[in-house]
Amino acid sequence: MDSSGFKLIRLTPEYQFTAPFNCGDSDLNDFLVSDAKNYQDELLAVTYLLLDNQNIVAFFSLLNDRISISDVDSNRKWAKYFRDIMPQGKRFKSYPAMKIGRLAVSENYKGLGIGTMIIDYLKQLFISNNRTGCKYITVDAYRQSLSFYEKNGFNYLIESDKANLTRLMYFDLIIMKH
């Protein structure tokens, strides 16, 4: 995908929404226009906009997170992962993570690889330009976007949310580093 014409900006209090944004999900559309600036004010999440001239191509909101071992005890795959990947290493009660609070691509730009480009950008950003330790990317993925995150290398954190509207997923950044 040619992203040379796009610009990534951080949402500021001064930013004026000139054209409507529609990703096909009204909660996400409303969040951008009604809540994103408040979340920023309250230091709850920072939102970024991908722009094509004045058009909002996509937006995403990021916040800090952690994966606590006690939360994932029930996941057999996770227990195996710890045995296999960190057999001798020091284990912690929790690990630092960055959560993708929201991610949405405009209906006009869907299926062009933009969602994947954003995920790739975040993976690189949190490995090579991270200011604090961050081992995982997490997301509460909407049911309709599970296969998108699977294709982007995310795994399920727990099994007990299988029937829920959203599922907790994670990506281990160490995979990219080695």
Ligand X SMILES: CC(C)(COP(=O)(O)OP(=O)(O)OC[C@H]1O[C@@H](n2cnc3c(N)ncnc32)[C@H](O)[C@@H]1OP(=O)(O)O)[C@@H](O)C(=O)NCCC(=O)NCCS
* # of chain residues touching ligand X (CB under 6 A): 22
Contact 171, 137 (CB under 8 A): yes
* DSSP assignment string, 122-140: HHHHHHHS-SS---EEEEE
- Closer to ligand X at the Cβ: 12 or 144? 144
Instruction: Specify the stretch interacting with ligand X by CB under 6 A; choose among 76-84, 88-96, 104-112, 127-135.
Output: 104-112
By CB under 6 A, tell whether 103 contacts ligand X: yes
Site for ligand X (CB under 6 A): which residue of 3, 75, 116, 155?
116
By CB under 6 A, tell whether 144 contacts ligand X: yes
- Closer to ligand X at the Cβ: 72 or 104? 104
By CB under 6 A, tell whether 89 contacts ligand X: no
By CB under 6 A, tell whether 137 contacts ligand X: no
Q: Tell me how far apart the alpha carbons of residues 148 and 91 are, in angstroms, rounded to a whole number.
A: 31
Instruction: Specify the stretch interacting with ligand X by CB under 6 A; choose among 29-37, 61-69, 73-81, 109-117.
Output: 109-117
By CB under 6 A, tell whether 28 contacts ligand X: yes
Which position's Cβ is nearest ligand X?
115
By CB under 6 A, tell whether 148 contacts ligand X: yes
By CB under 6 A, tell whether 157 contacts ligand X: no
Contact 105, 115 (CB under 8 A): yes
- Closer to ligand X at the Cβ: 104 or 173? 104
Contact 105, 139 (CB under 8 A): no
Instruction: Specify the stretch interacting with ligand X by CB under 6 A; choose among 64-72, 90-98, 110-118, 120-128.
Output: 110-118
Residue 59 has which token pair? Answer: 């937006």
Q: Give how far the C-alpha of residue 70 lies from the chain's centroid of Cα atoms, to the nearest Å.
A: 22
Residue from 114, 156, 126 nearest 63 by CA: 126
Q: Tell me how far apart the alpha carbons of residues 79 and 69 are, in angstroms, rounded to a whole number.
A: 9
By CB under 6 A, tell whether 143 contacts ligand X: no
Q: Tell me how far apart the alpha carbons of residues 98 and 59 are, in angstroms, rounded to a whole number.
A: 16
Residue 160 has which token pair? Answer: 């007990």
